Amino acid sequence: MNRNRNWTAVCVGLLLVTAGCNQGNNNDLNYKTAINDHFKASPACLWSQPKKFPVQAATSDDAKTEGYDALTQEGLLTRTTAEKKVLIIASKQVNNYDLSEKGRTSWTPDPTQPGYGNFCYGNREVTSIDNSTPGTNAQGTKTVAVTYHYKIGNVPDWAKSQETMTAYPDIATALSANPSDNANLVMVGDHWEVR
Q: For residue range 128-170, what is the model confidence (pLDDT) as tens digits?
A: 999 999 999 988 899 999 999 999 999 999 999 999 999 999 9
Nearest alpha carbon to residue 100 among 63, 72, 125: 72
Rounded Cα distance, 186 and 194, in Å: 6
21 pLDDT band, cuts 50/70/90, is: very low
Rounded Cα distance, 109 and 112, in Å: 9
Q: For residue range 48-100, what is the model confidence (pLDDT) as tens digits?
A: 999 999 999 888 888 888 999 999 999 999 999 887 766 666 677 899 999 99
Radius of gyration from C-alpha coordinates of the chain? 25
Kindly report whether the peptide bond that precedes residue 54 is cis, defined as omega within 30 degrees of 0.
yes
The CA angle 143-144-146, to the nearest 5 degrees, is 155
